Chain A
């Protein structure tokens, strides 16, 4: 009894710092953001005062739905939202297609090689994110060998030389590159735990290699696929540095708009509204995927 009490107190004490951290740095800013969404924009950024005195006895409370109305009816904002979702989905899909074989290779390799291979996946984190994007600007730039080879090849089919950099192609390439480790690591953690005997049993009971992969390996790695996809999809959708550095006007994402509203157009309420819309989109998609996964039974094994 007293031991349990001690355990409980201990847990409470240990969990206090992270709770404070989350409240101060996550919950409060979110609440501020929601509050700002209902305010009027200030003349030079920020927000207009909440209570405005006009004359002696007339006061005006500056709360409004205008920013919401504007955002929800703006075709441009919806277009950006749609494009962000599209880019993030493509990125997630590419990461999955590239990450799954890689994670599976690492999980199946000998124990002494695994650590080295995992290290190779993580090594890019050792250098700054921006520097790595700049490196991609060189790789995809018009002077680079990659550009040259690709243009020679498409030239053979009679196409005009293409500019790889400053395009939606470059945005996707960089998004995939940046996010790939976040797909590989959870997938590896899942695949590494798979029991080889279960795969063998499926083959033994009449499944071909492909059937075994589709009916046994994929369902069993669903928790890893979902975790990896969430870790890739969610940061991708809010990304603004990548489209800004390697994209063009037609590949801007929702993150760029939010940044613009706060730093250039100085319309904080509209920026906040856009941020809220983005959060809701991510939340909606996550809930949808989660409920589909639960219904198909994919998570039953994971919760064991």
Chain B
């Protein structure tokens, strides 16, 4: 059931269409992520949900009630800011108690509730410290406790982890998912970090230039990108120019990078015509590389030469060149005691992949 419905929301800033006619439904108890590069309108959309910015057109419904023109304090949802925005003149306790004081809770219930939250985020010992006496991770936890203390309907998170170092960030990923499951509060999470989005979300809306490019589960967004932008923005991706040569039921024959030709089974053929130009996208980890032809019928294989590699520890990313100079990347997992395959620069290899592990993207 949709808890939040966004209908045809647009926003213009100084002649820039920052949010362009976006419609979204966000479900109850969902971990929903708005993912996109800076300037894609994701933060503006979040601020419109929170009530800090008024949309130029469109409406926002919360539990079926129009909240488009409600001031932020009247909306039963809270925001966690990138800078945490703790009140520097209040102790941790008073920071967390602030929403309850505003809602005029009675004193004993308030103390009880705040103490429970302090315990939840393991900050009981720090209750009487001031924000400037806390570390980044502790500040983060105070911000979370403060936003959850009065059990809002929705929690909005605006790149909350970007100020933390990598280790702490990963730790917070686990904490956030746990917290979301425990409290059952719907999370709307804004980030430009695709790995964060994939790891945390139940659904991701990938945004670009004020529009939602694709709205799907993390698995589908990653493995079945629908547009060039989505394929390119999430993770590494080989994007090769492609043209449709023939269509036979749900099988299309593609000419890729001018020299490869193979069949691809696809779900929808309706908006594809013969001669259609586009891209064939395939993730580097789906591309295998061998010294000899693997001789597997399901695999499409082609000769290439090694151009170079990047060693990542858990994997090695090779760059291969096809006969006509087209570049293809392949991520080979380092899952053997010794490195499985090591290719010297300029040596000849066979690269192979299942056509269905990639996607045809219409231009």
Listed in ascending order, the chain A residues whose CB lies under 8 Å from chain B are: 195, 197-198, 200-209, 211, 216, 219-220, 297-298, 300-301, 304
Contacts and interface: CB of A to CB of B under 8 A. Distances in A.
B79 A204 contact: yes
Nearest to A201: B85
Given A198-B87, A203-B73, A216-B87, 4 more contacts: A198-B85, A198-B86, A211-B102, A301-B89
A216 B95 CA distance: 11
Given A200-B81, A201-B81, A203-B71, A219 B102 contact: no
Contact of B89 (A197, A211, A298): A298
B102 A195 contact: no
B98 A202 contact: yes
Interface string B11-41: 0000000000000000000000000000000
Pick the 5 closest A-B CB pairs, nearest first: A206-B102, A201-B85, A197-B85, A205-B99, A203-B72
A206 B73 contact: yes
Interface in B45-103: 50-52, 71-73, 78-79, 81-83, 85-89, 98-99, 102-103
Nearest to A298: B89
A94 to B, nearest CB: 26
A208 B130 contact: no
Given A206-B102, A297-B89, A300-B130, A197 B71 contact: no
Given A200-B72, A201-B81, A206 B99 contact: yes
Interface of B: 50-52, 71-73, 78-79, 81-83, 85-89, 98-99, 102-103, 130, 132, 146-147, 150
A208 B73 contact: yes
A213 to B, nearest CB: 13
A201 B72 CA distance: 9
Q: Interface residues of A: mostly helix, strand, loop or mixed?
A: helix
A90 to B, nearest CB: 28
B79 A201 contact: yes
A67 B103 CA distance: 61
A102 B59 CA distance: 36
Nearest to B79: A204
A262 to B, nearest CB: 46
A204 B72 contact: yes
Nearest to B103: A206
B50 A204 contact: yes
A197 B160 CA distance: 13
Contacts of B82: 197
A202 B87 CA distance: 8
Contacts of B150: 206
B102 A304 contact: no
A301 B95 CA distance: 14
A161 B322 CA distance: 99
A197 B86 CA distance: 9
B146 A205 contact: yes
Contacts of B79: 200-201, 204
B353 to A, nearest CB: 47
18 contacts: A195-B83, A195-B85, A197-B83, A198-B86, A200-B72, A201-B85, A201-B87, A203-B71, A204-B52, A204-B79, A205-B73, A205-B78, A206-B103, A206-B150, A208-B71, A219-B89, A220-B88, A304-B132
Residue among A195, A198, A205, A297 facing the most chain B CB atoms (10 A cut-off): A205
B88 A301 contact: yes
A198 to B, nearest CB: 5
A24 B85 CA distance: 48
Contacts of B78: 204-205
Contact of A304 (B72, B86, B88): B88
